[in-house]
Amino acid sequence: MNAKDLRKWIIIPTCKILGLYDDSSAQKTFESESQVRLLLGTIAQESNMGEYLRQKGFTGYQGGAFGIYQIESATHVLVLNWTRKNKEDLYDEIIALRSENNPNGIDDELIFNLRYATAIARCLYLSIAEPLPTADDIEGLAHYYKSYYNRSGKATEQQFIDNFNKYGC
């Protein structure tokens, strides 16, 4: 997928729906651009910018990770529970993004519903107390990703940086 299209048509509109993107003030602009670049970098690292929609080695709808952010089922549930408990307004917005008919289960939304998957990924990062790095601090974004999104995964900060640059995030 194209990073500019993801930014314009998926990430920014989703963050606006969640009330997390505001380009009208300096403080919000800082956070808004940082979250967009962090989410783009996460997609670049986790799925090679959308090349993989299902974790390698898994077929069907059980186990593994789903979608362009490669979110696992347990993480998906944790994010939904956190938002329900701590950010009820966000939880309602996330639920409103779900499709009406999904016979394969909720994790399937992470594969075909890009705005829903983006909302889950953004709220995962939102649950972290540490503030986001600045948008131009790629090393900081890589460290944030590795520390909070891919703690026990195989990805490295350098891979994040390389993929971030490769895909024009």
**What are the residue ranges spanned by the domains of the chain?**
3-166
**104 CB-contact burial (10 Å; exposed 0-12 / middle 13-18 / buried 19+):** exposed
From residue 137, give the alpha-carbon distance in Å to each of 27, 32, 81, 164. Answer: 16, 14, 31, 12
pLDDT of 96 reads 95
Write down the pLDDT at residue 106. 83
The answer to whether the CB of 163 falls within 8 A of the CB of 41 is: yes
User: Which residues make Cβ contacts (< 8 Å) with residue 80, sequence separation at least 6?
Assistant: 91, 94, 120
Q: Which residue has the tokens 């917005």?
A: 93
pLDDT of residue 163: 98
d(CA 17, CA 6): 15
**Which portions of the chain are predicted below pLDDT 70?**
24-31, 56-63, 103
Q: Which pLDDT does position 60 carry in this prediction?
A: 57
